[in-house]
Chain A
Amino acid sequence: MRWKITGSSVTGRSHVDRGETGQDCHRAGSIRIGDREYFIGVVADGAGSTTHGGVGADIVCGRMYEHITGTLRNTADLSCITDGEIRDWIGASRAAIAAEAVAKERRIRDYACTLLGAVAGEGHTLFFQIGDGAMVVSADGGEYDTIFWPEQGEYANVTFFATDDQFSEHLNIRHYPSTPGEIALFTDGIQTLALSFAQKKAHAGFFRPLFDALRQHPENGFQDFSRQLSLFLTRDDVSARSDDDKTLVLAVLVQD
């Protein structure tokens, strides 16, 4: 069992026009422990209203990835990882952001960002999320299911952040007792393209071709695939649908 993984974060057109850099970030990869390979994906979206949301997103992705790999080296069985441990990873990542804020004499909310994460091993997958964006899985390339529906405040431009004092209150955790063949993580910039809000469902027409392309892509060309993904995410018809920064991480399971 192996994972093929790709990911891309692109800056929304209106941000490009204003000369701003993107506030989205991701880390995605796999680690092999013994004869098992684990997929780890972390995605964060820095709040548009902040000055340093992008920095917060970068710190939280990097720290979460380290905490997860560290834990996996000690606990190879994913089903043994508790909600408390996941909260501790996030708490520690949040503390790293707080330290950066103190060092730069800013407030932690200047670094506000959302957080989505997935860790998949044999027979068990962990998902966690604070704020908007979504994760989508498919067992066998059939129906696509959302793990959590994007969490939002009353208005479209209000959400919850990993940097909030009360982050645990809006932390969603799901222990999934199997290994999905396909996993996607994405920020809210992709939501309007990939999710049907009327039906509260993931749109298969969006995910199917992307996963198929990744599955069929030659093994040695991963760099190239993520570059193609970036071109796709900045295409005119995509930008016309969503002006926001966009991050998409895809992982497919390959049986040898």
Chain B
Amino acid sequence: MSDNTYLDQQPLGAVTFAENPEPRCPCLLLLDTSGSMAGEPIAELNTGLKTFYNELQTDSLAIKRVEVALLSFGPVRVISDFTTAECFFDPQLEAVGDTPMGEAIRKGIEMIRARKEQYRVNGISFYRPWIFLITDGEPTDEWQSAAALVREGEASKSFAFFAIGVNKADMKILKQLSVREPVKLQGLKFREFFQWLSNSMKSASRSNPGDKILLAPPLGWSEI
């Protein structure tokens, strides 16, 4: 037996890895499922979500690191709390009700806070959480307090908040809700948006100490 074979197959082969939780890359989707989304928009959104899950599942690191939570509003409902891609399912959202956007944002920020607390208690490191708000309308409830929470969270780097407007979304209000410039979805290109988002999450989940996570320009799905 040569030296090489000995080293390759015996001692170094016996190395086992710590059952150590991977660092997490949390992403919260706040999805408008109010009545106005009925028909093609909600169908396209569902297809887009499926694409998103499938994409993340094909990536060996993203599947262990990216945690997605879904919260729909109209009425506010937690479809899925933060979970890694292994447990993704097919949500099949339905469009019904009004647009309680303020409540959804407040609830979402609370979910982020609770999740970070769980990471800390369990000694899991994590990346800055992302929140994506996707809406085709305007808030039907009080939203100014939610906007203040978003400003606060952005200032303290607690999360990054992005707003995506669909169809006749009130971009003026989105501008007041989000510190970052809101983006208008081109037609119903949810699938392209989610493709872009999964790519962004894949690269974020690979970033190393010192990396600044930069989102790719929203090409292929936004109106610029």
Q: Please give the residue numbers on chain A whose beta carbons come within 8 Å of chain B beta carbons, in ascending order.
A: 12, 14, 45, 47-50, 53, 112, 114, 131-132, 152, 154-159, 161, 188, 191-198, 200, 202-203, 205-206, 209-210, 212-213, 216-218, 221, 224-225, 228-229, 231-232, 237, 240-241, 243-245
Contact = CB atoms under 8 A, between A and B. Distances in A.
Contact of A48 (B10, B123, B209): B209
Given A228-B8, A232-B12, A132 B209 contact: yes
B207 interface: yes
Nearest to A114: B209
B91 interface: no
A221 B19 CA distance: 32
In terms of DSSP, what is the predominant structure of the interface of chain B?
Answer: loop
Contacts of A232: 12, 15
Contact of A161 (B3, B24, B157, B210): B210
Interface residues of B, number: 37
A48 B21 contact: no
B127 A197 contact: no
Given A155-B127, A198-B123, A212-B11, A228 B4 contact: yes
Contacts of B21: 197-198
Given A196-B18, A206-B16, A47 B11 contact: no
B18 A159 contact: no
Interface of B: 3-4, 7-8, 10-24, 60-61, 122-128, 157, 206-213
29 contacts: A12-B208, A49-B208, A49-B211, A49-B212, A112-B210, A114-B209, A132-B209, A154-B157, A155-B126, A155-B127, A188-B209, A192-B17, A194-B18, A196-B20, A198-B21, A198-B124, A205-B15, A205-B16, A206-B18, A209-B14, A210-B12, A213-B11, A217-B7, A224-B3, A224-B4, A232-B12, A232-B15, A240-B60, A243-B61
